[in-house]
Structure 1
């Protein structure tokens, strides 16, 4: 139920509005997720309570739907934030360092959200274009607004981009590590069930071809996850990245930057983003 006091999602036409619904954002998500679970408490929570091993496609679909609501959901954004907080109330345990954790402890909850900003900032250089300083500041303000939608208090996150980077570097130095979940997400030989979403004929075809498709897909997922993770985060976790891989990523990014802008809007943007963009344009037209 919408409340008059609910925080609004980030503004239409902003930097995040352009990034989050673009299909290139799908390539950025694995890096952000992996950086999230590199925090011992977050990794332990996912290890103990998530269905990412048994239902990876369902979990991925639900996570993506949630992200789209935060940005493009309008009045539904705050309701989704409340739903997520309720979902995480029972997630608690002990992390790998012997510390008690709770998913909604502000430091843990804030880190899960915070990781999106440096990944968007870094990955955009390859897949979209380097953000200007003004765009980086705008993106951080908009990401803070998403945090409010998710129930973070202003004091839970660094208030400015200048405050964010010292916080981020401290987290890399003191907290992140190659947790069990990080290693599983980056493994190229981990068992992954075939996709169980989409038309029946497609699912049947994928199931038959899955033994051949999974190895190259797993290698690509690791490549794009490590490559689009900020280098300082990559180093803090202990992930190798060679000059040859960097050249491959730059070539891949150059191709993506040429092809994606040529796609029609129905292929370039995810459904909720596409609908929100159309509604926004229609509203501007009526105002004009």
Structure 2
């Protein structure tokens, strides 16, 4: 297994092609970086971390052609939930998978290595092109950091900076190049890169936004007989949660880009969630996140041991 894989040559107009210095201490237990990857609210409000990368025309095209929840017409609510869980665990695994962390990073790289084709704007792409790879990680960082700041609030500027640097270190392990040195620099640079490349209303983004509607949120298997009006009532808490996730995880500009209209009660909805999360001690949720990852590693089979195991990835190559 290679220790590091360098993406394809740089393209013009992207983040500077600089590999971050290895800083494993940024993801050591107890650090802000380690905490943010264990934070349950990141998993609960994970939709922006899935939606923002889909704004890239190459990511949207690759997802639409290879991701089960987009390709399989029978994919249901449970499939979407498992997809979000697997995404979060693959990202968090570089900090919390213990001795398997290197394999998680390797699996993430190998999974995307063969993806290429024509994007939603008609241009050819390869997922391992440096700009595309870094753009997608920057989108995930933007969603994670903004969502944490909205719901939890940052206890200090130094905590926020160290949390961001922890995400830079995680990205380095995935092979990401060129992330800005500080979170303030990231906030200044990211909108330019985002707006230059984004196709914000492509079919992938629209499919995710459809989850907020009764007809677009697929009924679980065994309940597809439910009439739409009844499903609309039963699914209301789920759709409410997804809406709050988008409002909290995306900036005003990003919501406008995807055509996500504001509603009169949105501020109240988010305010209730913020009030709840800011009453819960960070140490408590941090420990819960650690227990979750430890339990998954000990008693279940996380995705890096099944679909993205070394054996499965080798079989795909063959």
Please indicate, yes or no, whether the TM-score normalized by the shorter chain is above 0.5.
Answer: yes
Distance across 1 between alignment mates of 2:84 and 2:296: 21
Decide whether the 8 Å contact of 1:70 with 1:78 is kept in 2: yes
Decide whether the 8 Å contact of 1:44 with 1:94 is kept in 2: yes
1:231 aligns to what? 252
| 1:125-164 equivalent positions in 2, closer than 5 A | 125-153=149-177, 156-164=178-186
* Pair 1:192-2:218 in alignment: yes
Distance across 2 between alignment mates of 1:45 and 1:268: 30
How much has 1:143 moved relative to structure 2?
1.0
DSSP 3-state at the match of 1:158: coil
Structure 2 unmatched ranges of 5 or more: 6-21, 298-318
CA RMSD of aligned residues (A): 3.3
How much has 1:214 moved relative to structure 2?
3.0
* Pair 1:81-2:105 in alignment: yes
**Alpha-carbon spacing, 1:261–1:80, altered in 2? closer, same or farther (3 Å):** closer
**Alpha-carbon spacing, 1:207–1:237, altered in 2? closer, same or farther (3 Å):** closer
* Pair 1:182-2:205 in alignment: yes
How much has 1:37 moved relative to structure 2?
0.5
How much has 1:257 moved relative to structure 2?
2.5
How much has 1:49 moved relative to structure 2?
1.5
Instruction: Give the alignment's TM-score, normalised by structure 2.
Output: 0.71
Distance across 2 between alignment mates of 1:267 and 1:225: 24
1:286 aligns to what? none
Give 4+ residue runs of structure 1 displaced > 4 Å after superposition. 1-5, 206-210, 259-270, 273-276
Candidates 13, 22, 26, aligned match of 2:39: 22
Structure 1 unmatched ranges of 5 or more: 196-203, 277-288
Distance across 2 between alignment mates of 1:191 and 1:243: 23
| 1:27-42 equivalent positions in 2, closer than 5 A | 27-42=44-59
Decide whether the 8 Å contact of 1:42 with 1:103 is kept in 2: yes
* Pair 1:60-2:84 in alignment: yes
DSSP 3-state at the match of 1:96: coil
**Alpha-carbon spacing, 1:238–1:3, altered in 2? closer, same or farther (3 Å):** closer
2:27 aligns to what? 10
Count residues with an aligned counterpart: 264
Distance across 1 between alignment mates of 2:129 and 2:3: 24
**Alpha-carbon spacing, 1:208–1:256, altered in 2? closer, same or farther (3 Å):** farther
